[in-house]
Structure 1
Amino acid sequence: MAKRSKLGRFLDKEGYNITKLAQMTGLNKNTISKIYTDSSYVPSGATIKKIMKALRSLDPSKKTEDFFDI
């Protein structure tokens, strides 16, 4: 299995993949893929906001700091 970021590990555990998250957020699959696998990559604020909105639909208690080192 490829290495995963904190976000990637959470989504794997929840049964979500890059395609599903791309659909939920409206973001490009390449962007999602980078976020999924590269733990040192920090996306833009707008991208983080879209991702967190989608994640909170899965688990309202999730915080940005759970997935991104900002």
Structure 2
Amino acid sequence: MDWSFLGKKRSKFGRFLDKNELTQQEVVKRSGVSRGTISRLCQPESEDGPTMKNASKIIRALRDLTGKDVHFEDFWRM
């Protein structure tokens, strides 16, 4: 869902979800990561990325949901 028409700012991760028409809830279900964590990672003010454990779960879920070869570095800095 494209939230840009509402002026809602998104992180790289949030924009990826929008571009691929994924909901946060789909990522929560597939990854097992909490809704709060996924929501925080979609916000541009989020300086910190996820823990490596959660990042691994999220990346695996995104690959399953989109079929794309995504990597940690696509969204967050080490």
TM-score by length of 1: 0.87
Aligned counterparts of 1:17 and 1:50: Cα–Cα separation in 2 = 16
1:1-70 counterparts in 2 under 5 A? Answer: 1-38=7-44, 39-57=46-64, 58-70=66-78
Report the identity percentage.
Answer: 34
TM-fit CA distance, 1:42: 1.4
- How many equivalent residue pairs? 70
Partner AA of 2:16 in structure 1: F
Q: Distance in 2 between matches of 1:41 and 1:3?
A: 17
> Which protein, 1 or 2, shows the higher relative CO under an 8 Å CA cutoff with sep ≥ 6?
1
**What is the CA-CA distance between 1:25 and the residue it aligns to?**
0.6
Root-mean-square deviation over aligned CA pairs: 1.4
For 1:19 and 1:61, the matched residues in 2 are separated by 21
Which residue is equivalent to 2:3?
Answer: none
Instruction: Note the C-alpha offset of 1:41.
Output: 2.3
2:58 and 2:71 mapped to 1: Cα distance?
Answer: 11
Deviant stretches of 4+, over 2 Å: none
Give 5+ residue unaligned stretches, structure 2.
Answer: 1-6
Secondary structure in 2 aligned to 1:30?
Answer: helix
TM-score between both structures, scaled by the size of structure 2 = 0.79
